Amino acid sequence: MILWTMGIKIILETTGKLDEFSNTFILTMSLALVIIAIIEWRRNTHLIQVSSFIIFSLFFLYLINDQWLKTWDYLCYENAAKAIVSGSNPYNGTNYLYPPLLAQFLSLGYLALDKFHHVEQTSVLFSIKWDIIFYLFEALQYVAVLIAYYLTYLFAKRFNANRNKVLVVSFGLFALNLPVVASLRDGEINIFVLDLILIAILTYKEFPLLSAFVMALGFHLKIYPLALILVFLILGEYKIVAYFALFVAILVAIGYIMPGGNYWPNFLQRWSSFTTINRTKDSGMDNFISSVVTLSAEMFRVVRYFIRGILLIWFYFRYKTRKKLSNINSVEWFYGNLFDAILLMLLASPVYYNQHSILLIPLFAFVLLLSKDSAMKMLPVIIVLTMLHTIDVFPFKFLNLFALIYLTVVTSPSKFNLLFQLKRKDEKSLILGIAE
């Protein structure tokens, strides 16, 4: 790719197709994995740990290779980036619904390539540059899923000292997870958001600046990481909240000097006019309401806000109950509020597609590894949210929503605390990484 940007004739004549980019990536990554396996074998690293990583890496490497095509979701990002390059509003005439930073990054990548090897937009090489951007995006997605696997392993080790169990659960939560596969197949950014959320959780004690920055970056990709701020407010981590606000403001300011300038007003205007009624494969609360009752636009708006109010009241009482049952310095307090924030975020979301269940992986790791009792109780709902394909037939279309509500009910503060009590009876020490 570097040689191509230099304009060398023989390279220009033998490259230019997505297949060639993807095949080169598969070859180099396969060789890298072989080298890693040899090095770790010579270092006498734990066999199961190395083999599980290699198998995991190869599985997703070949999965991405089979799906190396620009999908509808990715084209939303690319078309928004092309609009920015041409000086247009990325939210007009496109299906781009995300904060502007992603499209600006893609457009910045194109402009960087164009600086090395300028061509007119009418040239066939113009589309090849966008193919290179797609290649980089797909390569980063692969790296992101490897990082997510490792971060989930680190997170899961807090609940179970048995390394083999942690490896099996971490492996299964990705390799047997349809939302993960669908996100990679469709070229979505959910894996990146999961990475940033896990980094924020794992680093907030020792590296609050890093934790705040990755949350701010995640917020500029999707709004979901904003839910973590509720957790840190409850924990009294006001320094992290202040850092988060600062980094959000800095990233907005950076948007002014990036291609196209500041598009946040356009983003907010786009969402204010966005309809969530009768969307294909959407298991969200709004779509459920519009499927069971016929309402005018004004009445629908009232009902959706009423439902959001009910959700806030429900989770507020969960918070108050947890405060009575838990010591505010206990692990129950931290993880209970953390998982409640994730559940509330998904339940209150205007749309809820199957791929959004990726963000529940930390919660799944927790319930599967904390105790056998919790694993058996949660396994059916985890299967629904990770292994069942969404179909557009009522009521099966909303199985994910029903499973999410069930998951919220069975992780009530009293039941949640009981899981920890059972764990403490089984083990003399609870490995959670948070001082009690």
Predicted confidence band of residue 396 (pLDDT cuts 50, 70, 90): confident
Report the pLDDT value the prediction gives residue 2, as an integer from 0 to 100: 55
On the CB side of 359, how many CA atoms lie within 13 Å of its CA?
A: 31
Say if residues 251 and 214 touch (Cβ distance below 8 Å): no
Task: Decide if pLDDT at 425 tops 70.
Answer: no
pLDDT digits 0-9 by tens, 146-186: 999 999 999 988 877 688 888 889 999 999 999 998 888 88
Report the pLDDT value the prediction gives residue 279, as an integer from 0 to 100: 66
Which whole number is the average pLDDT over 96-112?
A: 89
Predicted confidence band of residue 379 (pLDDT cuts 50, 70, 90): confident
pLDDT digits 0-9 by tens, 28-81: 777 888 887 777 777 766 777 778 888 888 888 888 776 678 888 899 999 999
Task: Decide if pLDDT at 355 tops 50.
Answer: yes
Report the pLDDT value the prediction gives residue 433, as an integer from 0 to 100: 42
Q: Which of 7-16, 285-294, 411-420 has the highest mean pLDDT?
A: 285-294
Q: Which residues lie closer than 8 Å to 157 by C-beta, 6 or more apart?
A: 163, 166, 431
Report the pLDDT value the prediction gives residue 17, as an integer from 0 to 100: 53
Say if residues 382 and 410 touch (Cβ distance below 8 Å): no
Report the pLDDT value the prediction gives residue 312, as an integer from 0 to 100: 93
Predicted confidence band of residue 422 (pLDDT cuts 50, 70, 90): low
Which long-range CB contacts under 8 A does 7-16 form with residues at least 24 apart?
A: 7/117, 12/125, 15/128, 16/124, 16/125, 16/128, 16/131
Task: Decide if pLDDT at 107 tops 80.
Answer: yes
Report the pLDDT value the prediction gives residue 121, as an integer from 0 to 100: 52
Report domain extents, the chain: 275-436
On the CB side of 90, how many CA atoms lie within 13 Å of its CA?
A: 31
Task: Decide if pLDDT at 390 tops 80.
Answer: no
Q: Residues of the chain with pLDDT > 70: what percent? A: 85
Q: At what angle do helices 101-116 and 208-221 cross, to 10 degrees?
A: 90
What is the spatial distance between Cα 298 and Cα 149, in angstroms, rounded to a whole number?
44
Q: Residues of the chain with pLDDT > 90: what percent? A: 29
> Helix/strand/coil (H, E, C) string of 127-166?
HHHHHHHHHHHHHHHHHHHHHHHHHHHHHHCCCCCCHHHH
What is the spatial distance between Cα 333 and Cα 331, in angstroms, rounded to a whole number?
5
DSSP class of 169:
H
Q: What mean pLDDT is reported for the chain?
A: 82
> Helix/strand/coil (H, E, C) string of 198-267?
HHHHHHCCCCHHHHHHHHHHHHHHCCCCHHHHHHHHHCCCHHHHHHHHHHHHHHHHHHHHCCCCCCHHHH
Entry pTM: 0.87
**String of DSSP letters for 71-113:** -HHHHHHHHHHHHHHTT--TTSSS---S-THHHHHHHHHHHHH
What is the spatial distance between Cα 299 and Cα 309, in angstroms, rounded to a whole number?
15
Structure tokens, 173:
């939560």
**To 10 degrees, the CA torsion angle through 262, 349, 352, 372?**
120
Task: Decide if pLDDT at 317 tops 70.
Answer: yes
Task: Decide if pLDDT at 94 tops 80.
Answer: no
Say if residues 367 and 374 touch (Cβ distance below 8 Å): yes
Which of helix, strand or coil describes residue 17? Answer: coil
What is the spatial distance between Cα 235 and Cα 263, in angstroms, rounded to a whole number?
33
Report the pLDDT value the prediction gives residue 29, as an integer from 0 to 100: 79
Predicted confidence band of residue 333 (pLDDT cuts 50, 70, 90): confident
Say if residues 135 and 28 touch (Cβ distance below 8 Å): no
Say if residues 68 and 25 touch (Cβ distance below 8 Å): no
pLDDT digits 0-9 by tens, 118-145: 555 545 455 678 888 888 898 899 999 9
